[in-house]
Structure formats: C-alpha cells, structure tokens
Amino acid sequence: MPIRSTLRVRYAETDQMGVVYYANYFVWCEIGRVEFFRQLGYDYKQMEIEDDCHLPVVEATCRYRAPARYDDEVAIETSVTAMRSGVIKFGYRILRLHADGEQLLAEAETAHVSVDKNMQKRKLPEKHVLAIEALMVKA
C-alpha cells in the first residue's frame, strides 16, 4: 500500500522555463521515503542513531511523463517494491493534483543498501522489516 505525501512546487524548484528542474524529483522521492518510515512509526534519524542503520542510495531512475510547474500541488506515492536482508527498493509515483483529478508526472525508483555508520553492509533491523512487510500485505 503506498504512502502518500503532498507538497506545493516552490519557485526555487523551477528552471528558467518555469518547469521543475529534473533533479528535484529525487528530492521529492526522499520526502516520500522519510514520510514512508514516519507512517510506520519510525524516522530516519531514529534508524541512524538507535539502530546504526543508514540507507544510502545506490541506484536511482526516473521516467518523466509531464512537467510540474510552480505552485502545482503534487502528491508523492511511495511504496516498497523489493526487499532483501540488506537491500530495499522504493517505487514512487509523482502526481499533479487538480480539481479534475490527478495527472502522472513521473515514476521513479531508488535502491538502497543497509549499512552501519562505518559504511559496512548490515541487515535491515528486524522491527523495520516486520513493519514494512505488514504494510506490503495490506496492499
């Protein structure tokens, strides 16, 4: 089941043509991931401090479908698309919200490796795995 976050496009996120600069979509993906964990009852900082678990991005892709523009209301739908003991992949759908419904702007995916503070691979903490699996079952 995807977790939905919303935001309004800020002027600083656009280029000279008034279109959201392509790299900002990955910033929005990060917003989606942070909110995903928050909805599970955790936050990134808690994972890093209490569990010595960091999730650096090792791969990121994005397929752009339509441009987002200044002041658009945007939704980020975030879900886990794959999970192994030390790897997790998130999928994202970025949508423009308007009175007539929604328009797909982009689809993205990020892959993360679970590491400790010394950047050594480690398993995802069991409590996070169980919470994510429970959410995936609801989908």
Q: How far is CA 86 from the centre of its chain?
A: 18
- Residue 116 appears among annotated catalytic residues: no
Q: What gap in Å lies between CA 137 and CA 99, rounded to an integer?
A: 32
Distance CA 69, CA 63 (A): 17
d(CA 35, CA 44): 9
Catalytic residue among 15, 43, 71, 116: 15
Rounded CA separation 91/73 (Å): 20
AA letter at 71:
D
44 Cβ contact list (under 8 Å, min separation 6): 33, 34, 37, 55
Helical (H) or strand (E) element with 64: strand 57-64
Q: Which residues are catalytic?
A: 15
